[in-house]
Amino acid sequence: MKLRHIIVPALLLCTTACGSFDRPTQLSTQRVEVLEGVEHLSFETRKLDTKMVEVLAYDYEAKGHGQVDITVTYDPKSKSNSAMNATNEAARIADTFLQNGVSSVEVNVLPVANSWNNSKTFLSYKSLTAQAPTNCGHMPGFKNIDEVGDVEAHKKYGYGCTIEAMLADQIAHPEDLLGRDDQTLTSEGRRAENVLWGRGYYTREAFPELGGERSSE
């Protein structure tokens, strides 16, 4: 008789509790998103020296994606700012990008009337930014301290969004979130370095030969 009194309430508890699993959760189920944009940069060609191009290549490595388009202008009536000089400058800039790890570069020269000796260089490429999920909205209290005690603002900001936002800030290369090509082909650059030539991941030095412990004779 006592056993029945214990089992029945337990069954009733299960019936009411199990139904709660169908309620919507405040936990964010989405993950870090990748936002695509376009970088447009312009410089005086004469000021775009090797050091400056190296800095631009470093920035591209961090957030760039795809091809870098390089356009150098010239004046058709200028002897110093000629099409030949623009072509040479475009080749120089492109070569510096390639030497600093940018694998895809497209160069063009563009005539600009009445630009005289002032040649311009325009760079453009797709950029990627890692960010918290769009449905998270803005973090309460992050920019406005008055929102810290705002109950409604916190209700709209799902649990787990802060973790995703902090994770997004720590991602060095957002392009990695898009995945990589099939690594089974030996023609893939990094795999060729690591596997075919036995070189390290961070340097081009060959791995040293492995040697085990030897006991004294």
Contact 137, 154 (CB under 8 A): no
% of residues, the chain, pLDDT over 90: 46
d(CA 30, CA 26) in angstroms, rounded, equals 12
What confidence score (pLDDT) does residue 138 get? 78
Judged against a pLDDT cut of 90, whether residue 107 lies above it is answered with: yes
Judged against a pLDDT cut of 90, whether residue 125 lies above it is answered with: yes
- 42-46, 59-63, 156-160: segment of lowest average pLDDT: 156-160
SS3 of residue 130 by DSSP? strand
What confidence score (pLDDT) does residue 40 get? 97
What confidence score (pLDDT) does residue 3 get? 43
What confidence score (pLDDT) does residue 105 get? 97
DSSP 40-84: EEEEEGGG--HHHHHHHHHHHHHHEEEEEEEEEEE-TT-SSS-HH
d(CA 86, CA 45) in angstroms, rounded, equals 9
* Segment 67-81, tens digit of pLDDT: 999 999 999 999 999
Longest dimension (CA), the chain: 109
What confidence score (pLDDT) does residue 176 get? 86
Judged against a pLDDT cut of 50, whether residue 99 lies above it is answered with: yes
Looking at residue 114, its amino acid is N
What confidence score (pLDDT) does residue 8 get? 42
Residue 104 CB neighbour total at 10 angstroms:
12
Identify the band that residue 214 occupies on the pLDDT scale cut at 50, 70 and 90.
low
What confidence score (pLDDT) does residue 6 get? 43
Q: Which CATH architecture has domain 37-128?
A: 2-Layer Sandwich (3.30)
Higher-confidence residue of 12 and 155: namely 155
Higher-confidence residue of 9 and 58: namely 58
**119: nearest Cα among 68, 92, 80:** 80
- 122-131, 141-150, 156-165, 207-216: segment of lowest average pLDDT: 207-216
SS (H, E, C) 77-107: CCCCCCHHHHHHHHHHHHHHHHHCCCCCEEE
Looking at residue 68, its amino acid is V
d(CA 83, CA 110) in angstroms, rounded, equals 8
**48: nearest Cα among 106, 101, 119:** 119
